[in-house]
Amino acid sequence: MKTYKNFIRTIVVLTAVSLTFSCSDFLDEEDESNFTTDTYFTKAEHAESAINGIYEPLVPITNSGFGGGTWLMLEFATGLANTSLGQATNIYLVKDLINNSDNGYGSSFWNEYYTGISRANLAIEKIPEINMDETEKQNYLAEAKFFRAYYYFGLVRMFGNIPIITESVDLTSEQLYPEQASAEAVYDLIISDLTDAENSSLPWRDESGRVSMGAIKTLLADVYLTMGGFPLQKTENFQLAANKAKEVIDSKQYTIFDSYDDLHNPATKNTGEYIFMTQFAANIQSGNWQPAILPYNLGISAYSAQTGGIFSTNEFANSYEADDKRAKEKEFYFTSYSLEADRTDSVNLGAPYIFKHFDIQANEESAQSDLNWCIYRYADVLLMYAEAANEAEGAPSTDAYDAINEIRQRAEVPDLSGLSQADFREAVRIERIHELSFENKTWYDMARWRQAYNPETNELEDFVGHHFTYLPNKALTERELLFPIPTSEMQNNPNLVQNQGY
C-alpha cells in the first residue's frame, strides 16, 4: 500500500519539466539553477518523473460536478443514459443529437490526450540520452509508448483524421500547425508503439498501478479488434486480436471477481480482474466521479455535490435477461438508498443509478473516494477474445464459448451453445453492452460495428437511422460516428478540416 500511495503522490506532484517549456529564451542571462528540457534529463530519477507526468492526463477525464464531466460524453452518445442535471449543456448537446464543436467535453478529451502525447514524445526523445540502467530505461520507454498509443487510440476513434505529432513542439517547430493524418496512419503508429512496448521486460501485472505487460497486450488486442471493424475493416486483424487476447488469458495473471461488489471495492484496486486503471487515493487524489452518479439532492451521500449527472434509462436497465444478476438491486444499478441523515431510513431514487461505480464508504462517511477508475478489466479481454475468434474462424469455437460463458456464469444466466457465426456475433456484442455498461466502452463499440443497441427489442440495429428510446423523432446520422474537432483547435490551426456534419 505504501508503494501504491507513493506512486499516486508522484503523479500529483509533477516535476516542472514534464509540464512546461523553458523560459530561458526570454532571459538576458542564463540561470544555471533553472532546468530546461535540454539540461534536465541527466539521471534515472528524471526519467521516472517524466513518465509519471504521462499518467496525469487520465485524471481530469473523470472529474465530475454540476457541469457534468468529460467521461459522460461517451455515455450519452449511446442513447442508454439519462440525466437530471439541467445546467450541463454539454450533456444535452450529445444526448439530444445537437452536438457542435463548442462542446467542452470534446475539447477536454482533445487537450488532455494531446497533453499526454506531448509528454510521451518528450520522454521518448530524452530518456535514451540518460546514462542509467538499460533495462530500466527500456521499461520507461515502454510505458511512454503505451501511453502515446493509448491517447492516440482514443483520439482517432473519437475524432477520425487527426494530427500525428511524434516530436516535442515549441514555437519554432514545423509541427506547430500540423495537418491531419489518415486514420490508418494513426493506427500504424499505435501498432508500432505497442509492439515496441511488448519488447520490454515489464511484469505481467503491477499492483502499484503502473503500466504492465498485461495492459500492453490488452490494449493491442483492443486496437486490432477495432481495426477489424469500421472504418478500416482490416478483417485480417481479427486473428491478431484473438491471439493477443489469448496471450492475456493464457498468462493466468487475471481472474474475474466472484462478486460484483469487488468492482467498486477500493481494496481490490489493481488486483484480480483489473488490468489497468486510473489511479486515485483518498485524501491524496480522490476518485472524482461520485457526484455524477448520485441522484440530484436526495440526501443519500456525505458529498455536498449530488448532481444527478448520469443514470441508466429504464429501458436499458430492464433489457438484461430474466434473472441476470447484474440487473438486480445494488449489483450494477440501484434504485433506492439509505439517507445520509438517518441510515435506517431510505429513499426511492426514481431511476436506476450506477452502483458499479459507487464508493459506499466515501458516500456514507468521508466524501473522499479511494476507488480507481477502470480502463481495462479481464471481463473485457474475455469478450474481446470471443468476438475476435468468432470473426477470425468463421464460427464460434469451444474457447470462444468458454470465454463468453465465464462472464454469463457470473451473471447467473444460461450458457450459450449451438449458435451460428452471425447469432454468436450478436450475442457477444450484446454481452459487451450489458457487462461493460457505463465504462466508456459502448460508444466505441457502436462506432466500429456501425450498429446501435435497441434496449426495447434487445437487438442491434444499423447505426445510421437508429432512434434513441427517448428521442423517437430524431435518428442517428453518419455524423454521429465521430465527434466534432473542438472550435479552439479549428481556430488555432488553419490546416484542420472539420468532421462531416459539424
Report the sign of the C-alpha dihedral through residues 280, 286, 292, 296, in that order: positive
Q: What is the pLDDT of residue 340?
A: 97
Tell me: do 249 and 386 sit in the same domain: yes
**Does 154 fall in a domain?**
no
Tell me: do 224 and 360 sit in the same domain: no
Tell me: do 388 and 407 sit in the same domain: yes
pTM exceeds 0.85? yes
**Does 359 fall in a domain?**
yes
Tell me: do 298 and 368 sit in the same domain: yes
Residue 308 lies in domain: 292-372
**Does 9 fall in a domain?**
no
- Lowest mean pLDDT, pick from 34-43, 283-292, 330-339, 416-425: 34-43
Please write the tens of the pLDDT for every residue from 359-391: 999 999 999 999 999 999 999 999 999 999 999
Tell me: do 368 and 223 sit in the same domain: no
**Grid cell at residue 43:** 539521471
Q: What is the pLDDT of residue 26?
A: 31
Residue 170 confidence class, pLDDT cut points 50, 70, 90: confident
Helix (H, G, I), strand (E, B) or coil at 180: strand
Residue 40 confidence class, pLDDT cut points 50, 70, 90: confident
Total tally of structural domains belonging to the chain: 2
CA distance linking residue 10 with residue 318, whole number of Å: 43
Q: What is the pLDDT of residue 4?
A: 61
**Does 232 fall in a domain?**
yes
CA distance linking residue 291 with residue 313, whole number of Å: 18
Please write the tens of the pLDDT for every residue from 78-110: 999 999 999 999 999 999 999 999 999 999 999
Q: What is the pLDDT of residue 24?
A: 32
For residue 486, give every residue at least 6 positions away whose Cβ sits within 8 Å of its Cβ, in sequence order, or none: 101, 102, 103, 106, 107, 110, 111
Q: What is the pLDDT of residue 442?
A: 98
What mean pLDDT comes out for the span 28-56? 78
Q: What is the pLDDT of residue 37?
A: 67
**Does 285 fall in a domain?**
no
Mean pLDDT for the chain overall: 94
* Domain-terminating residue out of 320, 354, 372: 372
What mean pLDDT comes out for the span 131-159? 98
Does residue 32 have a pLDDT over 90?
no
Tell me: do 364 and 393 sit in the same domain: no
**Does 301 fall in a domain?**
yes
What mean pLDDT comes out for the span 426-442? 98
What mean pLDDT comes out for the span 399-416? 98
Residue 2 confidence class, pLDDT cut points 50, 70, 90: low
* Domain-terminating residue out of 363, 389, 415: 415
- Lowest mean pLDDT, pick from 22-26, 42-46, 201-205, 317-321: 22-26
Q: What is the pLDDT of residue 175?
A: 75
Q: pLDDT over 90 for what percent of the chain?
A: 90
Tell me: do 275 and 377 sit in the same domain: yes
- Lowest mean pLDDT, pick from 2-6, 125-129, 221-225: 2-6
Does residue 15 have a pLDDT over 50?
no
Which segment, 12-21, 33-42, 226-235, is predicted with the most confidence on average? Answer: 226-235
Does residue 484 have a pLDDT over 70?
yes
Q: pLDDT over 70 for what percent of the chain?
A: 92
What mean pLDDT comes out for the span 241-269? 98
Residue 169 confidence class, pLDDT cut points 50, 70, 90: confident
Q: What is the pLDDT of residue 11?
A: 62
What mean pLDDT comes out for the span 477-483? 98
**Does 120 fall in a domain?**
no
CATH classification at residue 238: 1.25.40.900
**Grid cell at residue 118:** 506531448
Tell me: do 334 and 395 sit in the same domain: no
Phi and psi angles of residue 63, each rounded to the nearest 5 degrees, phi first:
-55, 135
**Does 198 fall in a domain?**
no
Residue 235 to residues 42, 225, 386, Cα–Cα distance (Å): 45, 9, 15
Helix (H, G, I), strand (E, B) or coil at 452: strand
Between CA 279 and CA 286, with CA 281 as vertex, the angle to 5 degrees is: 95
- Residue among 349, 333, 255 at smallest CA distance from 295: 349
Helix (H, G, I), strand (E, B) or coil at 333: strand
CA distance linking residue 179 with residue 425, whole number of Å: 37
Does residue 14 have a pLDDT over 60?
no
What mean pLDDT comes out for the span 148-167? 98
What mean pLDDT comes out for the span 273-278? 98
Cell 454540476 belongs to 66
Q: What is the pLDDT of residue 395?
A: 98
What mean pLDDT comes out for the span 290-294? 98
At position 220, the amino acid (one-letter code) is L
